[in-house]
Amino acid sequence: MIVAGREGGADGVRIVLETEEAMLLSELADQVDSVLLLGGDDDPALGRLFPSAYEDDEASATEFARYTRESLVDGKRQAAQSVRDATATDRGEGLVEIELDQAQAWGWLTFLTDLRLILAERVGVADPEEAEAADEERDDYLRAAYEWAGIVQGSMLEVLDPIGR
């Protein structure tokens, strides 16, 4: 994986992925979408994606969620769909090159944040600073995906961060 600025100095990011990495991102986007569509109210991953706006006032929290939840879910699903669209590949060998403008890149960052929150819940990471201390018996595939998504996210932020330029 390579994350760099766009050709010609345009704002945004250029991502170069191995075909397998693109397929992984597409599959993970499908899984995020499934959690958003099918996850029940008792799914702790959804609790991380949509924390209570009013922890001490259940009635206000329910009312707030009633007015905001649908649009938040739609935005998160759109972010996942943009990742799926960009990573669509014919499963051949080689590289997948993706050019994202500033707005598209921030959509990807939304997706990566959602993905990492879901994966953190699934592998038992309560605090990202203590990721190594989490239960080592959990699924190594999910832990590797969590860490890899963090690398992609961090690399994109380094390119997008105007302070670092």
Instruction: Give the pLDDT of the chain (165 residues) as one tens digit per residue.
Output: 787 876 666 788 999 999 999 999 999 999 999 999 998 888 999 999 999 899 899 899 889 989 999 999 999 999 999 999 999 876 667 888 999 999 999 999 999 999 999 999 988 877 655 555 445 555 788 899 999 999 999 999 988 876 655
Q: What is the DSSP letter of 131?
A: G
Tokens of 83: 């990742």
Cβ count within 10 A of residue 100:
23
| CA angle centred on 27, ends 102 and 76, rounded to 5° | 45
CA distance 21 to 27: 10
- Going edge to edge, which strands form the sheet with 95-100? 2-4, 13-18, 95-100
Of 128, 104, 107, 106, which Cα lies nearest the Cα of 116? 128
pLDDT of residue 59: 93
| CA angle centred on 16, ends 24 and 92, rounded to 5° | 60
Contact of 17 with 10, CB cutoff 8 Å? no
Pairing of strands 13-18, 95-100: antiparallel
* Residue whose entry in the numeric block shows the structure tokens 């997948």: 96
Contact of 81 with 108, CB cutoff 8 Å? no
pLDDT of residue 164: 52
pTM for the predicted model, two decimal places? 0.85
CA distance 118 to 148: 14
Mapping DSSP to helix (H, G, I), strand (E, B) and coil, where does residue 51 land? coil
Tokens of 62: 């329910």
pLDDT of residue 83: 96
